[in-house]
Structures are given as structure tokens and as C-alpha cells.
Structure 1
């Protein structure tokens, strides 16, 4: 191993320590679109949950690699609070959340309304709302319903659509945007 390799190794380890401790570091992306293509050095999510009172502001990806420990923390944060169950979320959904947040140019954390849902929770929500899909990507850990006070639903939806990385559901009456890492499509208004 050369001294240059040691410097990279030490830098990566140092960044992993910071990320695991969820220390905030400002990501620098040439373009948010490049983030989805893997050209950024650091990716981070900044989320709060009004339901649980929890928050997470964590670097989950460094130099082309997801950080498993941090992804587990995000999985727990995005758990089904009604059933108190977590699943392995698809990290590509984290990428969409991070990219749209960057495009919106705000420091305000996303308010997570819904991440993972157990089949039972999804069925219960479906009984009470027309807007809940039977085979929701929430059940597969591939979706999040998000809100920002400082940005409109249409601004958030445009940012998500610009990523061309998954589904974007616009729920103007309920003041949130659904973002998933499934097929590219849009609905709602």
C-alpha cells in the first residue's frame, strides 16, 4: 500500500466515522442529476418525523459506497410506526430523496409522513382512503411520502420529476409528495 493509498483509506475511514455518528456535512454535487448517476462523493438525507418526534441527518453514501450501518439507521427511522416494524429500504429511494432535497436548495429537513408500511398497515389505510394502492411500493420499502413547509407540493414534485428516477405522486390536498424508486411515472394533482 502506498502513502497515497493510506491517505485515501484514512479519509474514507474518517468520513465513515462522521457518517455513522450522523454528523452533518454539507454535500457538494456538481448536479443533482449526477448524484443519481453516482458522480457525487457524499450523499445525505435530512428527515424528521412528526409522528415519532425523531430526526435523522445522516451521510449514507461516500465515494461510491452505501454505508450499511447508516442505511440500517435510516431503515429504522423509516419504519412503520403503527406496527413498529422496519424493513430493508431500497437505498435508491434515499438517493431520490437526497437529490430532490438538493434541487430544492433548502436546509429544512423533509417531514416523513410514511416510509415502510406493513401489508396490514397498508390494508388499513386502503380501507380509509382512495389514494392508497393495493400493491404499494411502501410495502416493498421503495417509497416515501414527504412534505416541506418551505416548498410547495408542485415545487417538490417538479424536483422529483427532474430526477427521472421513479414514481412521483402529487397529493396537493394533503400537502405531500410521494417519491418512489419504481418505474418512472407521475399521478395526482
Structure 2
């Protein structure tokens, strides 16, 4: 290969440009973790809860490591607001949420409608609606229901589906998107 230094381009630079082009050209083939890789070596999540009035805007991962104290704050923030019960949220769900948020290029925080649900809360919701799963991933800390004012359900769902890392449910009538770290699948309209 010719010496590229005469043009101010190194082999590593060319490979970096190629990698960036591949990710930009085919985001549906990337997963959430790949989409976050190279994003300044940080991962950030921004949410607010209309139920509790709380907000969170935090960096929870730096250079390959989750920050345990911050993940605990996120666990508390995503608690079952009805019972105040908490669980350890699966960080893969948080990664999917952060990657989808980044793909949408918005500064607006997510509105968290539901994160963790205690079994009692899930049973109560199930008795009121046929759309609540008996073994919901919310009870395992592996799911979140989210809304953005500046993006449609369809836009949010497409961003989450591009991560190809879990389940994505569209709830257009209720104006929210379900994201989870379970098997890759999608539903709703």
C-alpha cells in the first residue's frame, strides 16, 4: 500500500473512517452496545418521572465500567412508584434506552412511565388490562415504558429496534414505547 503520510492520512485513520461509515450506513445491524462504543467512552441516561417529580441526568458508564453508585441511583429512580419497591435494573435495558436516545439525537429526557414493577403492582395492572404480561420483564428489572414529547411512538420504536438488542413494543394509543433486554422482537402499532 502506498505511503499515506504524504496526504496526512494514516492507515488507522482510514480504518476509523471506514468503521464510522459502516455504522452510519447500516445502523440496524449494530446492537445497543456497539452503537454506544466510541461515543466518548461514556454512557448517559436522562429521564424524569411525572409520578414522583424526580429527574435524573447522569453518566453511568465510563471507559468500559459501570459506576456502581450511579447504577444504584438509577435503580432507585426506576423503582415501582406505587409501592416504593426497588430492584437491580438490568443494565442492558439502560444501555438500550441510552443507545436509542442517542440515535434520536434529542436533548429532551425520557419520561419514565414504568420501570420496575413489583409482582403485586403487575397483578393489579393485569386485572385492569389485557395488555399486561403475567411474567412481565418489568418484574425482573429488565423493561421500561418511555415517552418523548419531541418524538413519535414510531420514531422512538425505530430507534430502539435499530439497536437489535431486545423487545420493542409500540403503544400508539397510549403514546409510549416499551423497551426491554429480553429476546429481540417487536409488536404493536
Fold shared per TM-score above 0.5: yes
Q: Which position in structure 2 is the counterpart of 1:110?
A: 110
Q: Which position in structure 1 is the counterpart of 2:60?
A: 60
Is 1:39 the counterpart of 2:37? The answer is: yes
Kindly provide the CA deviation profile for residues 32-88 of structure 1, in whole angstroms up to 9, marking residues without a partner as x.
847513623000100000000000000000000100000000000000010101000
Q: Secondary structure at the match of 1:138?
A: helix
Q: Secondary structure at the match of 2:51?
A: coil
Q: Which position in structure 2 is the counterpart of 1:160?
A: 160
Alignment map for 1:13-24 (pairs within 5 Å): none
Q: Which position in structure 1 is the counterpart of 2:95?
A: 95
Q: Secondary structure at the match of 2:111?
A: strand
Q: Secondary structure at the match of 1:183?
A: coil
Which portions of structure 1, spanning 4 or more consecutive aligned residues, are displaced by more than 6 angstroms? none
Q: Secondary structure at the match of 1:139?
A: helix
Higher relative contact order (CA 8 A, sep 6+): 2
Rg comparison, structure with higher value:
2
Aligned length: 160
Measure how far apart 1:131 and its partner are: 1.0
Q: Which position in structure 2 is the counterpart of 1:140?
A: 140
Measure how far apart 1:130 and its partner are: 1.3
Q: More displaced, 36-45 or 148-157?
A: 36-45
